[in-house]
Structure 1
Amino acid sequence: RLWDCDRPVNASAAYLFTTAERARDMKQPPVYVLNHSQHNFPNRTTQPDLDEIEEWTDRAARRMYEGAGLGPSDVDIFNPYDGYATMSQFYLEAFQWHGVKRGDAFAFYAGDIRVEGPHPFSSSGGNLGNGRTRTAMYTDSIQQLRGSAGPRQVTVRAETALAAFTTPSSGGWMMFGKHPS
């Protein structure tokens, strides 16, 4: 079970938020925040059941898609939080990225999810791959949209990215885009 959990590491990241007008004149190509959702769903226990987790992740998905005016087929890069191995499955199925529905995640994982493949899932390597940085998903999403991810650069279209941090019951999501709308 050790490899099912992220490991503590020392890391940092910084992001500069400004208006779209000011971003146009900056040195780096801008990436726009199309929507942000922060949530803290009430817990009845420290061990939620599957129904609660699915309800929370479904609500998070609705909030993100409605606020951004986008749907699952509009998301190119998907970087969910994966502090525990099962979390990315909950998010993948709730957000229905690449058409994945409830119970389909394992079949999806059997496909080509490499950054060079047609379904570059968690191109950052996530927290399971990098350690508990909490921000790897945001950093990678921004780099993917800018085309500056180096060997992690996806080969599919990279116009939008969806990234998250922390657990299904509390946390935040950001939808990024190469264009402001």
Structure 2
Amino acid sequence: MAGETVITVVGNLTSDPELRYTQNGLAVANFTIASTPRTFDRASNEWKDGEALFLRASVWREFAEHVASSLTKGSRVMAQGRLKQRSYETKEGEKRTSMELEIDEIGPSLRYATAQVTRASSSRDGAAGGSFGGNRGGGQQGQVGGGQAQEPWGQPAAAPQGGNTSSDVWNTPGGGTYNDETPF
């Protein structure tokens, strides 16, 4: 994707993601990420907030449904995507331009919260996407999606019982021999 501006933003959602569907049935979630830089002022010995950046963001398809069911207002997120410029004309005939982030990846920040990751079943050929729940405020830990973790091919994930198990694809046989081949 040559020529596109890819950026990473860390900030908080200003409201719950708004999930909508196009006339063709495609899901889209829109929301705003507020990112405020903080700097330490040595003269006053305190932290100072800088000018906040409010960036509109959107995600599409099944990804949009995952985001809408996983993130809420105030959630601290890390988002990576492509910055898009959109020009439009108001009802009064004024030409306007806005910047939006078309998100490729987003996840909760674990700096001040915990998250419980669960795989979401996919409607596409058994492939699995990701869904996450995070700290919903007030010290409560939330979990979205629930259920048992599943392998990408739809089978429940086996919990290793200790020792060298064949279901643990990262466990190295022989206690230290490493192979560069991916085990799956």
- Name the larger-Rg structure: 2
Tell me the TM-score normalized by structure 1.
0.22
Structure ranking higher on relative contact order (CA contacts 8 Å, 6+ apart): 1
Greater fraction of residues in helix: 1
Greater fraction of residues in strand: 2
